[in-house]
Homo-oligomer: A and B are copies of this chain.
Amino acid sequence: MKQIVECVPNFSEGRDPEKIAAIAGAARAVAGVKVIDLTSDADHNRSVLTMVGDSEAIGRGALAVMEAAIARIDLTTHSGQHPRIGAVDVIPFIPIRNATAADCVAIARSVGEEAARRFGVPIYLYEDAATLEERRNLSNIRKGEFEGLGEKMQAPAWKPDFGPDRPHPTAGATVSVARMPLIAYNINLGTADFSVADTIARSIRHLGVGFRYCKAMGVELKDRGIVQVSINMTNFRKTPLHRVFECVKSEAARYGVNVVGSEIVGLTPAEALYQAAEFYLRIENFSPSLVLETKLMEVD
């Protein structure tokens, strides 16, 4: 079965349609790369491109996007609401099919090394690809933004993983990362009492006392007169949806509150749903190769 890695470059241009099209076009021109989404935000002055391919193709696609963006974006004259340190601000690699987190760390490193060499842009690695603990957290890296980067990089702690010890004059620096697909998953509770959602969110999130790969907060859904535990699952393989769901259900029951439903925002990998089916149906022999569509993709 074909390997699929996703790459989601965030670049600092969200207003000029020609520049955005040229940067996306650079990705589309790479053999073996498919662009599946492109979203631009004028207020943020930032675009998010989603492309897929095998690890070889996606590496070439990432470099093509960086080359096109660095040539067209000048951060010395850039403004926008979203914090950024680079023309290509963040470039995450995500394993989708037949690829592991380790594969994506390797891609992030080799693309970072090559981009530093070719474009003279300093590269920081973060999360699973990070080489220093202080750099695991993106907001630490991005603190001070492009404007503060020259001064920040004079400290030895901010020597980049690859490339020069000072920012690229117009393109700043790029943060390269390997991460799991994010699942935005909300669980709705049959009560208008915000404190129930808030208390449960605190119990299940990593920032607190909960699951390692779970971010959560309480939200009021005023139009429905109920509350919600709004969740980001940052690694569904290690902290699966069904475990978080069952935990929320049991915590809510302690207040006499029912789970009235849940919702997936955006996309989920099929595997996260297979995990739930496998768990609840107690399937002993589950493997993705039991799924007809997997077989169909093999012959595609």
Chain A interface residues toward B at CB < 8 A:
4, 34, 36, 52, 96-97, 181, 188, 241-242, 245, 259-264, 266-270, 273-274, 276-278, 280-286, 290-293, 295-300
Residue of B with least CB distance to A299: B34
Asked if residues B181 and A292 are in contact (CB atoms below 8 Å), the reply is: yes
Query: In the complex, what residues of B have CB within 8 A of residue A36's CB?
Result: 295-296, 298-299
Asked if residues A52 and B296 are in contact (CB atoms below 8 Å), the reply is: yes
Residue of B with least CB distance to A35: B299
* 6 A-B residue pairs with CB within 8 Å: A4-B296, A263-B283, A269-B293, A273-B273, A273-B291, A280-B280
Contact A292/B188 with A261-B284, A276-B277 known, Cβ cut-off 8 Å: no
Residue of B with least CB distance to A269: B292
Contact A281/B276 with A181-B292, A264-B286 known, Cβ cut-off 8 Å: yes
Asked if residues A276 and B280 are in contact (CB atoms below 8 Å), the reply is: yes
Q: What distance in Å separates the Cβ of A190 from its nearest Cβ neighbour in chain B? A: 11
CB contact between A267 and one of B284, B286, B295 (< 8 Å): that residue: B295
How far, in angstroms, from A241 to B280 measured CA to CA in the complex?
A: 11
Asked if residues A291 and B276 are in contact (CB atoms below 8 Å), the reply is: no
Q: What distance in Å separates the Cβ of A55 from its nearest Cβ neighbour in chain B? A: 16
Query: In the complex, what residues of B have CB within 8 A of residue A281's CB?
Result: 241-242, 245, 262, 276
How far, in angstroms, from A242 to B278 measured CA to CA in the complex?
A: 11
Contact A283/B261 with A96-B296, A181-B292, A299-B36 known, Cβ cut-off 8 Å: yes
Q: What distance in Å separates the Cβ of A92 from its nearest Cβ neighbour in chain B? A: 15
Query: In the complex, what residues of B have CB within 8 A of residue A267's CB?
Result: 290-292, 295
Asked if residues B270 and A285 are in contact (CB atoms below 8 Å), the reply is: no
How far, in angstroms, from A56 to B297 measured CA to CA in the complex?
A: 20
How far, in angstroms, from A276 to B291 measured CA to CA in the complex?
A: 14
How far, in angstroms, from A4 to B292 measured CA to CA in the complex?
A: 11
Query: In the complex, what residues of B have CB within 8 A of residue A280's CB?
Result: 242, 245, 276-277, 280
Contact A268/B290 with A36-B296, A52-B296, A297-B297 known, Cβ cut-off 8 Å: yes
Residue among A52, A96, A245, A292 with the highest chain B CB neighbour number at 10 A: A292
CB contact between A264 and one of B188, B259, B290, B296 (< 8 Å): that residue: B290
Query: In the complex, what residues of B have CB within 8 A of residue A295's CB?
Result: 36, 267
How far, in angstroms, from A283 to B259 measured CA to CA in the complex?
A: 11
Q: What distance in Å separates the Cβ of A23 from its nearest Cβ neighbour in chain B? A: 19
